[in-house]
Amino acid sequence: MEKQNKAKLSLVIPCFNEEQAVPIFYEETTKVLATMECEYELLFVDDGSKDGTLDILTNLASKDDKVYYLSFSRNFGKESAIYAGFCNADGDYVAVMDADMQDPPALLPEMLKILQDGEYDSVATRRMDRKGEPPIRSWFARRFYQFINKVSDADVVDGARDFRMMKREMVDSIVGMDEYNRFSKGIFGWIGFRTYWLPYENVERVAGETKWSFWKLFKYAVGGIINFSEVPLNIASWFGVVMTFLSFVFLLFVIFRRVCFGDPVAGWASTICVIVFIGGIQLFCMGIMGQYIAKTYTESKHRPHYIISRTNKDGVGIIG
């Protein structure tokens, strides 16, 4: 049915300080798109870059009427950039790609073909290895994927990239999930639909530097767990139950000792240890609850996900 008119593919490309990568990306990707039998648009989302990214984008847009840009008023983060792209992409198929060529455009024709064959609603990619990544980062990443899959019903695949192509229905469902604290890998898994996994070998970034420090990634991972799982809260409650039970047993023991052996005043050190230990657990559990309350707080403010200060696309809302 999609064949009567040529289907349209929208590429959403979040860019944050990518002045070196964008020209290479444009060059390589349009080469691939030219070989494909579909209409297309390139929707660059400039996530508050401080370098010349926006100039490069306006320049490309003036030469190529398939190039659109949305430029944020500040850096809102990759998740907001992806969301803004989804809200404003009008293709029958929408794909997300990084600007740094780590998501090979050569895969696009195959991805589109899989979707047009009709059996799948999305084609996602995963890297088969983590070549070129610091070992500690890989180790933490692996533990994160194991943990989040145990504790949440969002199916998050190890090595999954954000690089994926989806049908319109799936994009609309994602746009419908307008939560403020976004974790795309979880959202993709949570909404369901039939996903085809395409493996490929890790490619290193073509220019510029990664925008993710270890700390930023760590916070992102914790956010992902808190957003898609209540298990940490349950752990906190279980800690409480177990500690209450243990203290009850301890109480019986103390009474028993008092009755049978009198009351030698001793055990200062052990008393302090127990108090400190329990205090630590209490603070830890309160911290977990605090994390959830903080998320509830940011959600309840209903702040926009992004603010657009410049764009060349018609009908784009300034805030969204």
Site map 17..56 versus ligand UDP, x via CB under 6 A: -x----------------------------x---------
**Phi then psi for 14, rounded to 5 degrees?**
-70, 135
Binds ligand UDP by CB under 6 A, chosen from 7, 11, 15, 67:
15
First to last CA, the chain: 32
Q: Which does 305 bind (CB under 5 to 8 A by kind): Mg ion, ligand UDP, none?
A: none
Distances (CA, A) of 49 to 12, 29, 220, 267, 306: 16, 21, 20, 61, 14
Binds ligand UDP by CB under 6 A, chosen from 9, 12, 16, 311:
16
Please state, in angstroms and rounded to a whole number, the distance separating the CA atoms of residues 6 and 39: 6
Task: Check binding of 105 to ligand UDP (CB under 6 A).
Answer: no
Binds ligand UDP by CB under 6 A, chosen from 66, 130, 205, 313:
205
Burial class of residue 32 in the structure, from the number of CB atoms within 10 Å of its CB (0-12 exposed, 13-18 middle, 19+ buried) = middle
Smallest Cα–Cα separation from 82: which of 4, 8, 161?
161
Using the minimum distance from each CB to Mg ion, give the nearer residue, 120 or 163.
163
Site map 49..78 versus ligand UDP, x via CB under 6 A: --------------------------x-xx
Q: How many CA atoms lie within 13 A of 277 on its CB side?
A: 11
Q: Are strands 122-127 and 160-167 parallel, antiparallel or unpaired?
A: antiparallel
Task: Check binding of 102 to Mg ion (CB under 5 A).
Answer: yes
Site map 139..178 versus ligand UDP, x via CB under 6 A: ----------------------------------------
Q: Which does 311 bind (CB under 5 to 8 A by kind): Mg ion, ligand UDP, none?
A: none
